[in-house]
Structure 1
């Protein structure tokens, strides 16, 4: 049987039936920028950073099924410019101050900004007023950094079976909440051993009494750019302590 393949930036990339463009690219160790995609969860295409041009149409690589002979454009000036704009909007919609953040060097948002050569936020900062939740004995929640990727929502619902997190509101008012009458994480059955505790790509869910255990400069994306870590991203699991 002839191996099916797509043409990704002019390179033949094989795929198996049922795989998406993202699946095929990652199996071939070709990086497509993304934030909400995780190999353990069903894709939902919420961040749109993985937008590619397939047969002339803009589609999300994480949700678009690969088709034999499909021509896909990924690493182009046009697409990377659009991705930079999306990153700039994510930076200003939340409070992302990398030099003071515990996740600096381990943050996918920061790593993608470096990868795509985002030099400034460009837009005016929103500076949203979002609370911190330090009520839980093991975990601090910093809602200021949430990018609405829903990875913690999906992990808690689909893997942990606890439904600890959800999104509330619409449009610019959409935000992450804790499903407790009090709204406090301490009033849920959330645990540091939950899958949801280890999937945040930024710095919302932080283990207490652990910050800066690895010095800045020696962290995951300090050592190698995110674009060179495709194999790890393709096979990472939610048991990792740092995504």
Structure 2
């Protein structure tokens, strides 16, 4: 229930409260309104990388995860045009990496795959890139497969802001952008990354995997076999808020 006198915004006609400093994304999730996203994670500073959360605020298109809520905003989120744009972005993310769902250990736990289902994506539409990117299996407990990386930089922010280790970074620009390991050798084995670090488990796709854990949870019993990405996205926000 909305508090009398509270600052409010409207999303798709629904009036919701927000507190000063909240982004549109945080206000929406707190009110139980899902805005599609891949690079947003409760408790981490936002980056606006994936652009799936772009909404229309007045006459402007803005990323909900990095745009502050402001009193009186009229926001459109769930529209055919925005969802078509989100589908196109998701299709591009699929073809820019090697995302072969049936053979990937992350299937059923993959946010990119779940987002495709959420948006009703039926095909890749664009031609596959099939990139050849370095795979790093040097770490005794963690595998890094850059061919699946979607450059969300969740592992970068988790390592820097939560784990306090600064293991990862994004180097290059445009099509040359890639994930790097901040060690003189560039190898994961020479980093301080541990399997218990948030950076080791936060990857939304199959770019960072814990070794010797593959298929411990059978297909059919995995996260997105049981819940939609909308449900888990709203649940993540609640769990983080209750944990603070």
Query: In which range does the TM-score fall when normalised by the shorter chain?
Result: over 0.9
Query: Once superposed, which parts of structure 1, at least 4 consecutive aligned residues long, lie more than 2 Å away?
Result: 228-231
Q: CA deviation at 1:78?
A: 0.3
State whether structure 2 residue 172 is matched by structure 1 residue 161: no
| 2:28 aligned residue | 25
Q: CA deviation at 1:231?
A: 2.9
Contact 1:29–1:230 (8 Å) recurs in 2: no
State whether structure 2 residue 86 is matched by structure 1 residue 67: no
**CA-to-aligned-CA distance 1:27-52 (integer Å, 9 cap, x gap):** 01111000111111111211110000
Question: What TM-score do you get using the length of structure 1 for normalisation?
Answer: 0.94
State whether structure 2 residue 6 is matched by structure 1 residue 6: no
Q: Distance in 1 between matches of 2:239 and 2:222?
A: 16
- Which residue of 115, 120, 144 corresponds with 1:117? 120
| 1:50 aligned residue | 53
**CA-to-aligned-CA distance 1:141-188 (integer Å, 9 cap, x gap):** 111110001111111112222221111111101111111222210011
Question: What TM-score do you get using the length of structure 2 for normalisation?
Answer: 0.94
User: Which structure 1 segments of 5+ residues have no match?
Assistant: 238-243
Q: CA deviation at 1:228?
A: 2.4
| 2:81 aligned residue | 78
**CA-to-aligned-CA distance 1:112-140 (integer Å, 9 cap, x gap):** 00000111111111111012111111111
Contact 1:148–1:175 (8 Å) recurs in 2: yes
| 1:230 aligned residue | 233
Q: CA deviation at 1:195?
A: 1.9
Q: CA deviation at 1:66?
A: 0.8
- Which residue of 53, 70, 92 corresponds with 2:95? 92
| 1:127 aligned residue | 130
Contact 2:104–2:206 (8 Å) recurs in 1: yes
Q: Number of matched residues?
A: 237
**CA-to-aligned-CA distance 1:40-98 (integer Å, 9 cap, x gap):** 11112111100000112100000111111110000000000000010011001100011
Q: Distance in 2 between matches of 1:191 and 1:129?
A: 26
| SS of equivalent residue, structure 1 residue 176 | strand
RMSD: 1.2
| SS of equivalent residue, structure 2 residue 144 | strand
| 2:216 aligned residue | 213
